[in-house]
Structure 1
Amino acid sequence: MAKGTTTQEIPSKVLENNADDTSATRKQRRKAESIGQTSPPKKTKLINDGYCVFVGNLNNSKTFEEVTQSLEKYFMTQSLLVQDIRLAKSRKHAFLDLASNMDVTKALSLDGAMILGQPLTIAKAKVKTVDSLKKKAKGPKPDKKAKDGRCLFLKNVPYNATRRDIREIFPKAIKIRFPDQADHPSRGIAFLEFKNEAVASKIRKRKQGAKIQDRLLIIDPVGVAHKSDEKNVDTKPTKKVEVSPTTLFVSNLPFNVKEINIKNVFKKSVTITLPKKAGKARGYAFVEFANGKDAQNALAATKNATVRKRPIRVQFCEIKEKQEIGKEESTKLIVRGLSSETTTEILRGAFEGCLSARVATDKVTGKSKRFGFVEYESKEMCTAAKEAMVDSEINGSKVIVCYARSNSKRGERAPGRLGVNKRGQ
């Protein structure tokens, strides 16, 4: 150390106090700056801005891409600009974002339009926010056991019954639901929800023996099988039943009924098929309409209709897809579900390269039986044609193609018509 210079030692405690003071002042400054520069409140994020429509009753047998492309193509042909399509995982409904309120009004007028063979249900969607969905997701999960306890399961319900018919018998029901969010009991079943389990239990005891349209209702708690069904429990997986949107199945007809009697009830029908045996009607008929909207209106209008003073039952025709008629590969195919207007020439044109094709017709009336046969030169060509016609349409009607039985094993026989098996043939 050089002479004449002095050093002054600073205590360590003083240095620590100064460091603490500087850090405290920095924090105060930052706090003051944050108070002075407050950020503006965040805007509520909307899922849709009000220009959104709900489209239901979609054909979920098609793929995701087919449904989306069909919706976009149809609305574009109607001069509507679709900004976004949000299709549900079940492919049964979707939400469409449009450009303006005028487009929404025009889209609502398209309710009942046919896309992929089914009439659409179009309604205005509610405006939802992200926050409301988060609150709903964070909310307590409903107790399924408690909900099942206050619900009842109705069976043997008439297909043309309405919620009003059911509410007349069960006025204390809070909600009345049909499977697949349908407007009517297409499967003959319904679910009723009551205020609590005690009310549901009392209603179940009181209403045993209740009837709708002279049909005895079966009332059970949800999740409990009926005693009469316990012996005949079907463990096999049930397949979904397709419904023809343009054809109605009319049953409980008198045996002396004529086509003109049915035409007087269904005035907008295109064709009426009345199966007969030995010159007498079999008690049922098939009534076909030009579009699904006419069929839906006819179903609603004939709720309490009669034919020759006899009440009739009306429902949409079911197309039950059976297993292949012939398990073994052959050179002949049977084509079911043909349109009544499909001729042999149209059928031959749909199956290119076939040796022969014919549409089965009634010997008396000459009308098409709505199925036909196509024959190929080899099994390989027949198999390729069968695979190519999966989920295909001919003349606007969806067809089912299977291998035909060989004549040596069993003669050519018409399949069950639209879900009704023909006996005695």
Structure 2
Amino acid sequence: MMAKKLFIQTLGCAMNVRDSEHIIAELKDKDNYELTNEMSEADLILINTCSVREKPVHKLFSEVGAFEKAKKNDAKIGVCGCTASHLGSEIFKRAPYVDFVLGARNVSKISTAIKTPKFISTDINYDESDYAFGEFRGSPYKSHINISIGCDKKCTYCIVPHTRGDEISIPANLIVKEAQRAAQSGASEIFLLGQNVNNYGKRFSNAHEKMDFSDLLVRLSEIDGIERIRFTSPHPLHMDDKFLEIFANNPKICKSMHMPLQSGNTKVLREMKRGYTKEWFLDRAQKLRSLCPDVSISTDIIVAFPGESDEEFEDTMDVIEKVRFEQIFSFKYSPRPLTKAAEFANQVPENIASTRLTHLQNRHNEILDEIVATQNGKIHEVYFEELRANGGVAGRSFNNFLVQVQGSEELLGKTLKVRIDNPKRMVLYGKLV
């Protein structure tokens, strides 16, 4: 029987990437689909959506409109992910040619969805934590592994709890098995995913051994063949000393930490319901840098949260000066449906928001240029995983710098020493030592 063709477009975060891999595995195993990069030849077209900001939601409807015009006559279109969770049947109203809608917590139902006319399943508390998905990875060199689903935080700007439901940890034995399978098939790196990974172990669906995130990291580091462990996103609130010490001292844990700041002002953090203060964040960042001098720290920042004054914004700039983040993902506040902050009366004018964002990004670029300059002549151990244009091969250093050398595919999957001789803001270029 000839395989049917699946085209899938993924918007948003690493969790969405992993959900797409689960969807692909289910459709390959149960319905004889194979992937294609050509949308026009696909029998099934899926868009896995993000709703964290407004832009990706608008993008959904323009994309599915384009798919409808260009697809084969009998091809089906499905909308999956977070926007599917929060818009539900409204998607059928706005795009009647969509065949099914599958929410972010309902991935295991994909096989039923493709066979059922106008199927919709958006239950944000459907429990897939014990479901053993088939094996599919976008990269043979690393494996994304979900360790929890959902989020228990109530951040006032964030739609995720309304699209992914309450937080449930995935049993450790399933996580360990998945990591072992990845190692056996040649992946030296695992990447652990969850909305708040370091809140792991607070709640399981059924009775399971008690284990926190630090214990899980130790358990995974004992697996033969796993050389590198990365994770995202930890929450600053749960960065206790045990976690920071295991992070710093375990030789398999990559020395890059994502610490989502959101705002550097304690009052704004309180209104965001983040649960920590400016002082706590700085204390954790400074402890991290002292325990682990080579660490690179990345963060997320929202400027112009409702009511943010110029002085409060300056507190955010102060944290940037003190921590000197290696990477910042920064955005203007975007009101999201179902969130408390969307109801706040004191929204910051667009022109002020834009000015603040530009100021922050310009200053961070200056800091980044200073950080990058210090990399000249340094030697990094790089795990190569990607071919790039003009004979380039790229990978990540242990502390997460993107490093590129001239070479070919025989470098892929290897960890090699590289001396940096041309450091740029986005990529450190070097030569094999």
Give the TM-score taking structure 1 as reference length. Answer: 0.25
Give the TM-score taking structure 2 as reference length. Answer: 0.25
Over alpha carbons, which structure has the higher Rg? Answer: 1
